[in-house]
Amino acid sequence: GAVVSQHPSWVICKSGTSVKIECRSLDFQATTMFWYRQFPKQSLMLMATSNEGSKATYEQGVEKDKFLINHASLTLSTLTVTSAHPEDSSFYICSARDSGANVLTFGAGSRLTVL
Amino acid sequence: LAKTTQPISMDSYEGQEVNITCSHNNIATNDYITWYQQFPSQGPRFIIQGYKTKVTNEVASLFIPADRKSSTLSLPRVSLSDTAVYYCLVSQGGTSYGKLTFGQGTILTVHP
């Protein structure tokens, strides 16, 4: 079945630094990928839709200059948290849809801790 | 996007059948119903999807009445490893499928 890989699975960084998270579709091409954020004991919240070869579409309240998304190929989308602060600490999850299915495949998630 | 309502939590015991019902009164004609399972610190995992009537796979069954305003996920003979959060989602199918709005989910706890 479809597999989505995320890297890193966890990262700790200092406040003010930037962190990049990669999301890859391993056995299928994804023109669209989605980035979610999940705080402890809460549900997933959609942050943005990543479109291959074009600008990402951000959900209301999500700062596009804070969360930079690049979808340079049909199998790779990256999320960069710029100038990270402790309040950005969260679980970030990407997902992608195999073009032939009505199902989203999710990555394992990336735990970001900003000190 | 159709909003869903499901119980916040449920408790069960090993070997029992668990039924989790989700309400989606505003479901649209083109919407599919999908259930995902999430373990702590992991991404959600697809369980089952349906449009109407009954769907069954190797891990669960999904019952959808004719009016499609609700659906019931049935997990037969649960084990401790089924303890997780279960999300019911409704989303348009086809090329538009993708932007999912997650509700609160149902925390299922399976006891020995």
Residues A57 and A51: beta-carbon distance below 8 Å: yes
Q: Return the pLDDT at B49.
A: 93
Q: Per DSSP, which regions of B15-78 are E strands?
A: 18-23, 31-38, 45-50, 53-56, 61-64, 70-75
Mean pLDDT over B92-99 rounds to: 67
Interchain contact B43–A (C-beta under 8 A): yes
Q: Do B98 and A104 touch (CB under 8 A)?
A: yes
Indicate the pLDDT class of residue B83, thresholds 50, 70 and 90. very high
Characterize the bridge pairing of strands A67-73 and A57-58.
Answer: unpaired
Indicate the pLDDT class of residue A49, thresholds 50, 70 and 90. very high
Q: Return the pLDDT at A46.
A: 94
Q: Which residues contact B16 (CB under 8 A, 6 or more apart)?
A: B77, B78
Q: Return the pLDDT at B67.
A: 96
Residues B85 and B105: beta-carbon distance below 8 Å: yes
Touching B: A residues 8-67, CB under 8 Å = 32, 34, 36, 43-46, 49
In a mutational test of the A interface, the residue from B34, B46, B58, B91 whose CB has the highest number of chain A CBs within 10 Å is B46
Touching A: B residues 20-39, CB under 8 Å = 32, 34, 36
Mean pLDDT over A75-97 rounds to: 96
Q: DSSP 3-state assignment of A87? A: helix
